[in-house]
Amino acid sequence: MSELKIAVAARGSGDLPEMPIEPSWILEGLPISHGAVLVQSADKKVSSGLWECSAGRFRWTFGWDEFVHVLEGEATIKPEGGPAITLRAGDTAHFPLGLQTEWLVPRHIRKAFTVRTAEPLVL
């Protein structure tokens, strides 16, 4: 049996690396996104980190289950075939695998995320 350990990511003070949005998904503006996976489970099927994005409108299809907690800013997210929701600082949400959405970020958003993948997420 492997040794059980607590995975910890030190609170970062620097900038996050670029995590670009697929250019063909951008509908309006020039949203610039940054993010990083900070910790992972031993099997690499659960990963958690930070993501932020500047103003813009873009499509996003979730390639995995994702849980988010908004730390700063806001975004209005419209799932295909459903009503739009606005997430603001303090809100928590779950986006299921395969969900197709359109995001409108009026100024800036920063979120903590946790994703669950079927296969190990190798960085």
Q: Does domain 23-116 have CATH number 3.40.50.300?
A: no
pLDDT score recorded for residue 3? 81
pLDDT score recorded for residue 123? 80
Rounded average pLDDT per 10-residue block, the chain, 123 residues: 76 80 98 96 96 98 97 98 97 98 98 97 88
pLDDT score recorded for residue 36? 94
pTM above 0.85, yes or no: yes
pLDDT score recorded for residue 10? 73
Cα 16 from Cα 51, distance rounded (Å): 8
So where are the chain's domains? Answer: 23-116
